[in-house]
Copies of this chain bind each other. A is one copy, B any other.
């Protein structure tokens, strides 16, 4: 950590700051540049907070040099983490995992129908929302426990592990008992209590990036789960909020090679929520695979125009099958497969 002091700081205040840091176990190097003192603070600075050091009125700026996360960083853990979901592996050089299904579970028939379709198309897991987080209190809020039960029925019949989103801690038991990958939605990426609870279970967690979360914050949220003891975290890029409104969000594919550099965790992409338009989903899926994504999370519906949520971004089954075929060819070019 680098602390730059204001030019007018008296020597006695400089001494006090250095002494306080040394008392806390840090080594301090004091560099003077044109009358300005720059303090290099050495040691385990991930526990120091910029905001508090900056509270000293003699401090001009505080700059962190090392990442504030540890367990999520590649430096701490150089080899790729490969998450195993009932035998399906995600990460490293494993096959790219395609997860398909509707935004919301709407009925048993609907989820059975879609599950059969995505399995035939080549998907390896089934997604479906049972507890929904909707912007409007007047929108469909999900089938809740009934939806989970329908997902379990589909899982048993079509041998597809299931991914579903948890929205509150009090459903943890239900999710651990029934769901194979527990999804944390973008709006809950910094629901700290939920992250802590997910750190204590032994189930893969799919952690979506928050709408306006930096990569560092995203890895800090993963760190909450890892630090509490659960190492099975899959990151999921789903678009960030920008000034551009022609797409629902702006899909940030550059995080794929970036995360691979910074972290050992697998990263998948949700092009459906990111773009908000089914017509853009295939192009963005192929791009994600070419960029090195470990998987895709795609909305598929047997009847998008009567979907109870997010129909506009859902693919029909035949388009989903075509996407997988094309994606497989791209995957093979870069030395992987689907």
Query: Among B55, B193, B253, B257, which residue has its beta carbon within 8 angstroms of that of A304?
Result: B55
As for how many copies of this chain the complex holds, the number is 4
- CA A68 to CA B139, docked complex, whole Å: 10
B40 near A33: Cβ-Cβ < 8 Å? yes
Cβ contact within 8 Å between B169 and A192: no
Decide if A211 is an interface residue (CB 8 Å cutoff). yes
Known contacts being A55-B311, A63-B65, is A240 close to B246, with CB within 8 Å?
A: no
A125 to B103, CA, bound (A): 44
The answer to whether B220 and A137 touch across the interface, beta carbons within 8 angstroms, is yes
A321 CB contacts on chain B under 8 angstroms: none
What DSSP secondary structure best describes chain A's contact surface?
mixed
For residue A63, which residues in chain B have a CB less than 8 angstroms away from its CB? 2, 63, 65
A173 interfacial contact with B, CB 8 Å: no
Q: Is B214's CB under 8 angstroms from A211's CB?
A: no
Q: Determine the interface band of chain A, counting residues with CB < 8 A from chain B.
A: 35 or more
Q: Does A81 contact B (CB under 8 A)?
A: no
Q: Which of A190, A217, A287 has the most CB of B within 10 A?
A: A287
Please determine whether A244 and B214 come into contact, CB atoms closer than 8 angstroms. Answer: yes
Q: Which of A84-92, A116-124, A271-279 contacts B (4 or more CB under 8 A)?
A: A271-279
A residues 250-308 near B (Cβ < 8 Å) are: 250-258, 261, 274-280, 283-284, 286-292, 301, 304-308
B-side contacts of A280, CB under 8 Å: 254, 257-258
Please list the residues of chain A having a beta carbon within 8 angstroms of any beta carbon in chain B: 2, 4, 7, 29, 31, 33-34, 36, 38, 40, 42-43, 46-47, 49-57, 61, 63, 65-66, 68-69, 75, 133-139, 167-170, 187-188, 190-193, 196, 211-212, 214-217, 220, 223-224, 227-228, 240-247, 250-258, 261, 274-280, 283-284, 286-292, 301, 304-314, 326, 329-330, 333-334
